[in-house]
Structure 1
Amino acid sequence: MAMSRQDSRLRYRAVARLHAENIDQGFLPILGQDFLALLYQAIDESPDSALILAEEEGQVCGFIAGALDLKPVYRGLLRRWPALFLSLAPSLLIPTRLWRIIEIVRYSRKAGKGEAVESLPAAELLSVAVAPSCRGRGHAEALYIELARFFIERDQEAFKIVVGSELEHAHRFYRRMGAEPRAEIAVHGGTPSTAYVQQCADIHVSR
């Protein structure tokens, strides 16, 4: 059964809250949950990207997002420019935040260019999070597999994941799932990151 607009908005808000509370090392949470909700709505509505949810008792307890191309996502955001402007207005007044927003857009446009990333897949895992109270139940693994299926259905054999060097738990998870480190790169102001490649057919799940 199709979700109502109200149900959809509540789910996007739930995803935004999960991101803000569990992916706090990056820059996006600083932009606020209103912006995150708009971003995940745009990801969900684009045919080239996916937003996959895990639920317990009717409540969103985890999500994963991935994309073949972020340009349609940005176009989706811009189509809602009044809401986008309102969500970003506080950050637009802070020069350091404004510059980081520009860096994110520049990174997405340069993805796949340069010696460090030219051989990486176009498909990318963008973000994944599971609420602390729901961890240890296989949600992250199940979401990861579903994203791989999404990419396979679009003729993608592999996808990349860019992981900040300080995120030790994330590195362990991706290695356990079968992802292999391929390049050391710097994005978002020179922050060192590892680019992993996951072959969709080679995902390992420990039971």
Structure 2
Amino acid sequence: DEINRNFAITNTFYMINILHDIYFNLGFDEKAGNFQDINYTNEGKGNDSVVVLNYNFPSDDNSLYPIPRITLGYYNRTGEERSSGLDNSVLIHEYSHLVYEAATRIANEPAGHPVFCNYGFIPRGIQEGTVDFFAELFQYKKSNNRNDLYTVGKYVKAIRAVPITSDMSINNLKYSDIRYRGGMEYEKETENDNYFFGNVWATMLHEALYNL
């Protein structure tokens, strides 16, 4: 309804601006291309603010992120519409895609050459896992422990193979679960999936965090 739609839009506006500021403090500044109309330092190109389309389409899969735009759908897995604009983990995930893409573009296009390192099963899986991990990291509390269960898209009932946790009785994913021959020929359909690879990668990053 209109009230919930406005609520989702307001939450999205707030979270995207908060994420902009958090990433700025982490080094994703104007020179790095941090999606601002006006660059007050006169560094970077400017005029590249993020456009977020909320409640734009029904979705049973995911939210799309062509740079610098985020398209947020609504999910209907439980018989009721749930906007991904009300799921902060989805907002962190999608905005982090933009930052990841921008960072790899800066690192790999010093002479304006196209970036190919973001495409293909392994690079896409690494990116999905990294932005899932950011969604966990940005909501981290001192009271958390490594065996807590963390799921990206919990509110909208988005699907990952297993939650991110160190509890091996719930998540026993290992890098060896991604089996492939010759680099591109995969043994199982589920293993030829960016999100499955991402689930493994996010679990590895989770373990690294708690072993610091």
TM-score, normalised by the number of residues in structure 2: 0.36
- Higher-Rg member (1/2): 2
Structure ranking higher in strand proportion = 1
TM-score, normalised by the number of residues in structure 1: 0.36
Structure ranking higher in helix proportion = 1
